[in-house]
Structures are given as structure tokens and as C-alpha cells.
Amino acid sequence: MYSQGLIGADGQTHEDAAFLAAFQARIDAEQKIEPNDPMPEGYRKTLVRQISQHAHSEIIGMQPEGNWISRAPSLRRKAALLAKVQDEGGHGLYLYSAAETLGVSREEMTEQLLSGAAKYSSIFNYPALTWADIGAIGWLVDGAAIMNQIVLCRCSYGPYARAMIRICKEESFHQRQGYEIMIALCNGSKEQKELAQDALNRFWWPSLMMFGPPEGDSVHSNQSMIWKIKRFSNDDLRDKFINASVPQAEKLGLTIPDSDLKWNEAKQGYDHGEIDWDEFWRVVKGDGICNRERLKNRRRVDRDGAWVREAAMAHAQKRRARMASARIAAE
């Protein structure tokens, strides 16, 4: 989510050397940058892009899971899923607020999402086909998101870092909840275990893609890294995720769908097979099975809700006017 938010980010900036050096000194001293602090335009733009794409991902991410609320298999699971999807809406709200501190409005960001100008995490263009997908999404997709987001709690931009602390707490709850769904499936019948394995098969590779493509050696000269918006390379985070997830899959008795996956004693981590980056780019660019549908849904919701928002505004204006005239009459 986070790395994808930086794809195509324009860190270009035009301030003079003294300004940039003073800013960099604050970053290097691990001082948090706050909304009214001077900051390079490139820093501001990079953050707006990343935070808004993160917010959009939360909002679009409500769709695949929302799709299962009406069909959840028990009342307890239904309540937990609804609460989870609600949390995602809440995360979207904090993140839009964090981005607004950088001088962009929620309306503008929404417009960018609806027009297709802004992206969201490509994982949400994969469909949630069975109940087990709800488990796999919690376990793997939220798990991958946490790997990214834990680091973002130390991001140099204060409002983003603080929003992320709260989001991380909720995400880790979601991740445990997802894993618990997987445990129930894997302790269940043969059919349930098959559902779990099938969901893992479909969500494993897209989860690995969530970290974004390898950046190669150039990563340390990456402007986002220098500004401490980003703190680890995509590959480093992906490796951490794989190392954490493999033992979890083993505990479930499930097989990771990667025949090249093996423990590397020297690096004390797993080596993995080739990721299909063609698929990644295809989905990022709009050709996943759900891309069109996700955006169309969002546009429909925006359109259907327009009269409600207009009515709320109109009522607020009328009320203000009535209160003002009552005040005048009283004087």
C-alpha cells in the first residue's frame, strides 16, 4: 500500500540549497515535521500522494470485505467483519484528515480517486470469492499492510506518523482476527481446509506485490528515503513479511504456493520464487478483474449520495439564517 503510494511520486523540488539543508538537518535530527513548518514542495507533494492513496486504499478496501457482511457464517463473524470494515472507513477518515493538514481538501482527493487520477492499492482489485478469503485478507493483506505501516509510525511527517499509530493498533487486531478465521477453517472439515488453501493460493502472490517492485541499489538515494518518509526498501519489507508468514502457514498446515520457497541459512530468511511483475503492472494500470467495478461502485455511491449532502448543506444554511434573524429580532 505504502510503497505503491510512492510509485511515480514526484519528489522534484525547487527550493534553494540553504532551505533544503536546514530542512534536511531537522529530518536527520529525527524531528517531526508539523503542518505549519516550512517544508520543500516536493516533500509536501510526495506526502499528499502517499497519504491520499493510502486513504483511498482504505475506502476501496471496504468493497471486497463488505461483499461478505450479509453472508458471514455466524453472528459473531458478522459483527466482527462489519466492525472491521467500519474501522477501514475510520482509517480512511483519519488519513484524509492527515492529508488535509498539507493543504488539500477531502473533496479534491475524492475527485482524484473518482476520476482515476489517484491510485489505490492494487490488492483490492482481486475479488473476495469465498468466506476463506475474508480470513486470508485479514491474515495476509492486513499482515502486509502492518509491515509497511509499523515503519510509518516513525515517518518524519507528524500527523501521518500519529494517525498510523492508531491505525496500526486496529490493523494488528484485524490481522489476528483474519488468522483466527484461518485457524477455524484449518481445524474444521476437509472442505473448510480446502477453502483456506484455495484462498492462500490466490492471495499469497498479490500480497507480496503489495510491497511494490524491487528498487535495486538506487533505493538508498531515493528522495523519500532521504526525507524519512520511507525507511526500508520494498524488498526488505517483503522479506520480513515472508519470514513472518511462512511459520504461520505451517502452523495452519497450509502450503505456500511457491515451489521455490526455501530457507536460506546464510541470510536467516527465506528465498522466494519469481514474482509476476507483469501481473502487478497490469493490475496497477487498471486491468485487474475488479478495477472497473471498484471505481464504478465508488462513483455510484458518490452520485447517489449527492442529494443527501446537498440537503444537509442547505439545512445548515437555513438554520444559520434562522438563528441570525432570531438574534436580530431579539436585539
Instruction: Tell me the C-alpha distance between 110 and 114, whole Å.
Output: 6
CA dihedral of residues 109, 111, 115, 117 (deg, nearest 10): -20
Nearer to other proteins, 65 or 239 (CB): 65
Q: Does 292 bind other proteins (CB under 8 A)?
A: no
Candidate segments 2-10, 70-78, 196-204, 208-216, binder of other proteins by CB under 8 A:
70-78
The distance of closest approach from Cβ of residue 167 to other proteins in the complex, given in angstroms and rounded to an integer, is: 15
192 CB-near residues (< 8 Å, 6+ apart): 132, 184, 185, 186
Residues in contact with other proteins, shown as a per-residue x/- string from 241 to 280 under the rule CB under 8 A: ----------------------------------------
Which residue in 251, 137, 243 sits closest to 183, CA to CA?
251
Determine the Cα–Cα distance for residues 324 and 317; give it in Å rounded to an integer: 11
Which CB sits closer to other proteins, 244 or 313?
A: 313
For other proteins, which is the closer residue by CB, 14 or 307? 307
Site track 169-208 with other proteins (rule: CB under 8 A), x = hit = ------------x--xx-xxx-xx----------------
The separation between the first and the last C-alpha atoms of the chain, rounded to the nearest angstrom, is 57
CA separation for the pair 310, 238 (Å, rounded): 45
| Residue 315 within binding range of other proteins, rule CB under 8 A | yes
Q: Does residue 263 sit in helix, strand or coil?
A: strand
Helix (H, G, I), strand (E, B) or coil at 270: strand
Q: How far is the CB of 95 from other proteins (least distance, A)?
A: 11
Q: Which of 199, 315, 308, 177 lies closest to 249 in space, CA to CA?
A: 199
Candidate ranges 56-64, 166-174, 212-220, 323-331; the one touching other proteins (CB under 8 A): 56-64
Measured from the CB atom, is 220 or 307 closer to other proteins?
A: 307
Tell me the closest approach of the beta carbon of residue 285 to other proteins, in angstroms: 24
| Amino acid making up residue 49 | R
- Pick the binder of other proteins from 276, 305, 323, 325 (CB under 8 A): 305
Select the residue interacting with other proteins from 7, 72, 153, 226 (CB under 8 A).
Answer: 72
Q: What share of the chain is helix, strand, coil (3-state, %, to 5)?
A: 70, 0, 25
User: What does residue 16 show for φ and ψ, rounded to 5 degrees?
Assistant: -80, 170
Residue 288 contacts other proteins per CB under 8 A: no
Query: Residue 153 interacts with other proteins (CB under 8 A)?
Result: no
For residues 48 and 229, what is the distance between their CA atoms, to the nearest angstrom?
Answer: 11
> Contact between 66 and other proteins (CB under 8 A)?
yes
Note whether 246 and 276 are within 8 A (CB): no
Q: Which of 154, 262, 267, 318 binds other proteins (CB under 8 A)?
A: 318
Note the residues at the interface with other proteins (CB under 8 A).
59, 62-63, 66, 69-79, 82-83, 85-86, 89-90, 92-93, 96, 131, 181, 184-185, 187-189, 191-192, 297, 301, 304-316, 318-319
